[in-house]
Structure 1
Amino acid sequence: MKASTPSTVFGKRKEPHTVIIAHGDEIRHFTVRPWMAAFLGSAVAAIAVGYLLATSYLVLRDDLIGAEAARQARLQQVYEDRISALRTQVDHITSRQLLDQKLVETKVSELIERQSQLNERHGRLAPLLRRAENEIGLAALPENAPAPSEKPDIRAESQAPGNSPVATLASLGADSTQPFSQWPVRTTFLSGQDPWIDKPGNLFGSISESLKTIESDQFVRIANLTDTAYQNAGAIADTLGAAGLPVDSDMGHDDFGKSDVGGPLIPIDDRMIFDAKVKELDEALDALEQVKEEARRLPLANPAPGHTVTSPFGVRSDPMIGTAALHPGMDFRAPVGMEAKATAAGVVVRAGWAGGYGRMVEVDHGNGFATRYAHLSKVLVKVGQKLKAGETVGRTGSSGRSTGPHLHYEIRHNGRAVNPIRFLAVGKKLRSYM
């Protein structure tokens, strides 16, 4: 049989290469196939191309950076020339307007100082106004008393027709430390057309008038509060005195803010005037508070408001036996169980059964004054208990020597019964002041 031979129709066959390495007695060999040789050749070619590209980039980069740096230098030179020209223009305009700028700075400093003083005054007035509101009440102020003024908002002035929105005192605040050179101004300043710089007198005149108005309102408000406090104190004192009720002898109406005056002329500044007015208001409120405290110690409230008086104070026909007898108090028609309330602050000195009074509570109000609440169905306080005006002492009933449910109310001064109607009338008159 004939052996087959390789066909050469499709080209010459490539045999793998064999590499033999001999070292001494050792012989090594390995075979390099065609695809492996192709792969190694391709890798070497890729490395060579990459090396050439990297070298080209490094060479060209320096040229690109140099060109960009030259372009930036040219642009910088152009900008520096423009900035230099603008700076020269600004310096020229600033030199012409230096005096106006100094004037503006001076006036602004004065206005900020005045606004700071107004803020300080407002801080001092705030507690006095709260105290006056508590002692007098806003409803008691005269109709022409001005409302408290707010800090002036100068933006409205600066944005009026013919003006431009520039930096103002309202935007900087009274405690601003920002220098004038850093205040925000419009770019038209460079052309010299800013109305605040060209005509500062108009705006500053408006600001000054606004601050003067606030100062005037403060003085008027203080004066009105002072007069009202003295008038209320005088009215309370006169009402108590006219009713024959005890009141401090130094609290007569003529003593409140009215006296003969005289002395040398000693001019004072606005700060001293303000301090004097504030002190006068404080003294007026002290006087009002003192006379109110005097009035509050007296039993002036109605123990049974809205209820009819069935028997007044004085001589009457006794309801039990029909003979003439002294009635030391007033009887108010009241259903069983109604609350009987203390007519002034005091201390309970009696609480319990008291003969013909039935269940009775007696409250000592000081200065020799005491009140009694009799014929109660239930006593709700104890001896030694401190009471405030309006607190409940018991519930009405018909205990003791009584013909029906009612509240017997007495006022005693130094142990002697006095007519309660006088106290009730005074309390009604003073209700609006208390």
Structure 2
Amino acid sequence: MKAANQAAVFGRRKEPHTVIIARGNEIRHFTVRPWVAAAAGSALAAVAVGYLLATSYLVLRDDLIGATTARQARMQHAYEDRISALRAQVDRITSRQLLDQQLMETKVSELMARQSQLSERNGRLGQVLDRASVVAEPVAPAKTPDERASLTGKTIEAADTLALAATSEAMRPFSFWSTRSITPDSESRADRADKLFVAINKSLRSIEDEQVQRIGTLAENAYQTADAISETLEGAGLPVDADLGQSGVGGPLVALDNPMAFDSKVKELDEALDTLDRIKTQARKLPLANPAPGYSISSSFGVRKDPLIGTPALHSGMDFRAPYGSQARATAAGVVTKAGWNGGYGRMVEIDHGDGFVTRYAHLSKVLVAPDQKVVAGDEIGEVGSSGRSTGPHLHYEVRRGGDAIDPLRFIKAGKKLGQYL
């Protein structure tokens, strides 16, 4: 009790611990001071903690390494999947682009074929329109060179421009690695190409339809002109080939958009122009012109009182009140068969027009042609006078067929009606 109280007294030093080791006769003792014990305890604790940490590391190292490796593997797989997806997307876009390119090339080939067809038609249209401008001009006036180019030269220029635009759009370079190539712009480009081809096809179809329509109009006008000439000649009682321009009709239906439509229309136009050409040729052989244009008729065809003896007589022609020396003109193309004095006709010119038609121009003061000379309508063949059995200056004009006299007025009236066609 006392010792305890003494140890508690402030300022008294504690005695260090002593360790005594006895072995046989040997006795050893060690004095253990407090700081040594603390240091030894700390060292022992440090060793224990290090051992525990080393043991934990060795136990957990494989798990840590495995987790790190798994994470790296997942990241690598994710990158590879992304790269594969991008490659697949690029492949799809590339395939689509190639398909679009092939489709555009096919369409361009079709357009070029149609352009070549239009070029071929151009040559045929040029000849047909030139012929139509000569044969069918009165009813269906031929287009001027500038207008005609819209059906010939301009069709080729338009087709060339359209085909060039399509080719340029189809052959535009494509960048496989550009960002725009994998964006919706590629779709819009395809849409633009489709719209372009639709517009080109529409334009070409418009050109083709215009060609076919124009050819059909020319053919219809040619037939109408031929019918008008034929009806005028028949109405005047003049001879005309009854079968001219008439033929059996029929055949399979050919749609307007059929490639054969153009050839069919051109063939129809050729036939119409042939018909019109034949009937014009036939009409031009008839003496339809006026031998003394601008002068009035003083005596018509038929029975009249003879101007010299006053008895009824047949007047085989018609007289034109024309002054002395005025021109007498041929009324149709032909060959002069007589040119000189011919009894009561005085100085006379006779022209053979073929098909049995003959015209006579009598009482001339001067003959300006010679036998076997070829003349055309409107050629001056003599000058008006009063030679032969005549009472004064005038032109006596006769039309005969097969030797029989025909009223010339029918021919002149028919010629006035047909003047716009011939």
- Per the normalisation by structure 2, the TM-score is 0.68
Contact 2:169 2:193 in 1 (8 A): no
- Is 1:274 the counterpart of 2:270? The answer is no
Question: Aligned-residue CA RMSD in angstroms?
Answer: 3.5
| Cα deviation, residue 95, structure 1 | 5.7
Are residues 335 and 386 of structure 1, via their aligned partners in 2, closer, same or farther at CA, if it must alter by over 3 Å?
A: same
**2:281 aligned counterpart, secondary structure:** helix
As a proportion of its length, which structure holds more helix? 2
Could you tell me which of 234, 240, 247 is aligned with 1:241? 234
Q: Which residue of 1 aligns with 2:70?
A: none
Mapped to 1, the partners of 2:404 and 2:179 lie a distance apart of: 89
Q: Which residue of 2 aligns with 1:378?
A: 366
Mapped to 2, the partners of 1:228 and 1:184 lie a distance apart of: 54
Mapped to 2, the partners of 1:168 and 1:347 lie a distance apart of: 56
* CA deviation vs aligned residue, 1:156-180 (integer Å, no higher than 9, x gap): xxxxxxxxxxx9535479xx9x996
Contact 2:118 2:156 in 1 (8 A): no
**1:334 aligned counterpart, secondary structure:** coil
* CA deviation vs aligned residue, 1:239-265 (integer Å, no higher than 9, x gap): 22222222223126xx26xx553x667
Report how many aligned residue pairs link the two structures.
323
Mapped to 2, the partners of 1:227 and 1:352 lie a distance apart of: 48
Mapped to 1, the partners of 2:173 and 2:134 lie a distance apart of: 44
**2:194 aligned counterpart, secondary structure:** helix
Q: Which residue of 2 aligns with 1:338?
A: 326
Question: What letter matches 1:313 in structure 2?
Answer: F
| Cα deviation, residue 96, structure 1 | 5.5
Are residues 153 and 399 of structure 1, via their aligned partners in 2, closer, same or farther at CA, if it must alter by over 3 Å?
A: closer
Report matched runs for 1:108-127 at 5 Å.
108-127=108-127
Could you tell me which of 403, 417, 426 is aligned with 2:405? 417
Question: What letter matches 1:402 in structure 2?
Answer: S
Could you tell me which of 294, 297, 304 is aligned with 1:306? 294
Runs of 5+ in structure 2 lacking a partner? 1-89
- Is 1:227 the counterpart of 2:225? The answer is no
Question: Which one has a bigger Cα radius of gyration?
Answer: 2
Question: What letter matches 2:201 in structure 1?
Answer: S
* CA deviation vs aligned residue, 1:208-260 (integer Å, no higher than 9, x gap): 100111111111111111111111112212222222222223126xx26xx55
| Cα deviation, residue 199, structure 1 | 2.4
**2:243 aligned counterpart, secondary structure:** helix
Are residues 122 and 216 of structure 1, via their aligned partners in 2, closer, same or farther at CA, if it must alter by over 3 Å?
A: same
Runs of 5+ in structure 1 lacking a partner? 1-89, 156-166
**1:250 aligned counterpart, secondary structure:** coil
- Is 1:392 the counterpart of 2:380? The answer is yes
Question: What letter matches 1:339 in structure 2?
Answer: Q
**2:102 aligned counterpart, secondary structure:** helix
Contact 2:366 2:382 in 1 (8 A): yes
- Is 1:151 the counterpart of 2:155? The answer is yes
Mapped to 2, the partners of 1:299 and 1:361 lie a distance apart of: 14
**2:259 aligned counterpart, secondary structure:** helix
Are residues 154 and 120 of structure 1, via their aligned partners in 2, closer, same or farther at CA, if it must alter by over 3 Å?
A: closer
Contact 2:348 2:363 in 1 (8 A): yes
Contact 1:93 1:192 in 2 (8 A): no
Mapped to 1, the partners of 2:408 and 2:286 lie a distance apart of: 11
Are residues 385 and 213 of structure 1, via their aligned partners in 2, closer, same or farther at CA, if it must alter by over 3 Å?
A: same
Contact 2:289 2:415 in 1 (8 A): yes
Contact 2:254 2:260 in 1 (8 A): no
- Is 1:404 the counterpart of 2:408? The answer is no
Contact 1:152 1:211 in 2 (8 A): no
Q: Which residue of 2 aligns with 1:212?
A: 205
Contact 2:129 2:142 in 1 (8 A): no
Contact 2:254 2:261 in 1 (8 A): no
